[in-house]
């Protein structure tokens, strides 16, 4: 029942976006969406462990496992490629960093989506990039200084330079689904980015910023800027709907974004080339079931 609901919801949204969408593109998108929906629905029936197959490609990282806890001690700006990045229900993955301003980029190079059912912790900021899709289960707990969970890619060069530019490096990136509890440190930022974003859980960033963005490319203003700015370019065959973006205090939507909580924007701008710029500031929180 749950799989049917999630899969049908995403597919119907993708079909309604453009009547002249080419059939092969539509099928490819639907397959990606259904694949993550299936992983989401059957997550509790399969055994997931902590991330496996690490390769440090920039900076330094010491990775150790003790019991059900995987610990990563990394230098600021470290980049780690993983064959698979999931966290089981009884598992904890912990990134120990130099400070709250430190970042670590985790990129999945395998073919599986990331299924987060357990706990992700860090005193710094964590990037997780997986074009195959991401699912945070209902019992998932994320407690970090900041989180970027994206199925759109960010290059190593942009990451190291602090440029928040994301783009699909294949025909279709997969969706991001959150049913869990994601908390950033005071003043931190939480970003969920993908071809589609479905937030059914709780996201809290006290005094910080929350970004839910769906499109073929996303650019976010530097952290610490006076006001949050997000630029989103929609796929050619799935134009953004400005009326949905400017939905007011009950939510901000772009592309295939679904949020059951509350986000407040104080400005919405559509540029001549069709890009949507969202601006917001102050405390932002999305809570499942809010109205």
- 120-132 pLDDT, tens digit each: 999 999 999 999 9
The answer to the question of residue 255 being in a domain is yes
Across the chain, mean pLDDT equals: 74
CA distances from 119 to 45, 46, 69, 216 (A): 18, 17, 9, 29
Task: Report pLDDT digits (tens) over 219-275.
Answer: 876 655 555 566 666 654 443 333 232 222 223 334 455 555 444 333 444 444 444
The answer to the question of residue 108 being in a domain is yes
Query: Does the pLDDT at position 112 exceed 70?
Result: yes
CATH assignment of the domain containing 72? 2.160.20.10
Q: Is 105:78 a contact under the CB 8 Å cutoff?
A: yes
The answer to the question of residue 201 being in a domain is yes
Write down the pTM of the prediction.
0.75
From 70-84, 86-100, 155-169, 243-257, the region with the lowest mean pLDDT: 243-257
The answer to the question of residue 291 being in a domain is no
Rounded mean pLDDT, 96-102: 98
The answer to the question of residue 26 being in a domain is yes
- Higher model confidence: residue 89 or residue 212? 89
Nearest to 129 by CA among 105, 97, 110, 145: 105
Could you tell me the pLDDT band of residue 41, with boundaries at 50, 70 and 90?
low
The answer to the question of residue 211 being in a domain is yes
The pLDDT assigned to 214 comes to 81
Highest mean pLDDT among 99-103, 211-215, 240-244: 99-103
Structural domains counted in the chain: 1
The answer to the question of residue 180 being in a domain is yes
The pLDDT assigned to 199 comes to 84
- Higher model confidence: residue 281 or residue 208? 208
What is the residue range of 166's domain?
A: 2-286
The answer to the question of residue 83 being in a domain is yes
C-alpha to C-alpha distance for 138 and 178, rounded to whole angstroms:
8
The pLDDT assigned to 7 comes to 36
C-alpha to C-alpha distance for 151 and 291, rounded to whole angstroms:
28
Rounded mean pLDDT, 49-58: 94
**Count of CB atoms within 10 A of residue 236's CB?**
11
Contacts of 73-78 with C-beta under 8 Å, sequence gap 24+, read: 74/102, 74/104, 75/102, 76/101, 76/102, 76/103, 76/124, 77/102, 77/103, 77/104, 77/105, 77/159, 77/160, 78/104, 78/105
């Amino acid at each position: 029942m749950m799989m049917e609901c999630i899969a049908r919801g995403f597919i119907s949204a993708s079909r309604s976006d453009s009547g002249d969408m080419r059939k092969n593109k539509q099928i490819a998108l639907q397959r990606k969406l259904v694949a993550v929906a299936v992983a989401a629905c059957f997550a509790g029936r399969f055994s997931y462990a902590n991330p496996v197959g690490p390769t440090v490609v920039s900076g330094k990282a010491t990775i150790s496992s003790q019991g059900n806890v995987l610990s990563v001690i990394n230098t600021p700006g470290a980049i780690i490629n993983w064959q698979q990045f999931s966290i089981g229900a009884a598992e904890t993955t912990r990134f120990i960093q130099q400070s709250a301003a430190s970042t670590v980029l985790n990129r999945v190079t395998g073919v599986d989506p990331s299924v987060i059912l357990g706990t992700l912790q860090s005193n710094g900021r964590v990037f997780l990039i997986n074009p195959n899709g991401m699912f945070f289960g209902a019992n998932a707990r994320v407690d970090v200084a900041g989180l970027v969970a994206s199925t759109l890619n960010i290059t190593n060069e942009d990451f190291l330079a602090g440029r928040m530019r994301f783009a699909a490096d294949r025909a279709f990136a997969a969706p991001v689904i959150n049913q869990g509890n994601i908390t950033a440190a005071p003043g931190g930022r939480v970003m969920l980015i993908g071809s589609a974003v479905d937030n059914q859980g709780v996201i809290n960033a006290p005094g910080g910023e929350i970004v839910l963005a769906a499109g073929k490319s996303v650019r976010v203003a530097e952290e610490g800027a006076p006001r949050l700015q997000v630029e989103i370019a929609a796929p050619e065959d799935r134009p953004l709907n400005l009326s949905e973006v400017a939905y007011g205090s009950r939510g901000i939507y772009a592309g295939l974004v679904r949020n059951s909580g509350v986000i407040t924007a104080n400005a919405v701008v559509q540029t001549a080339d069709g890009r949507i710029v969202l601006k917001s500031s102050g405390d932002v929180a999305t809570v499942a079931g809010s109205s």
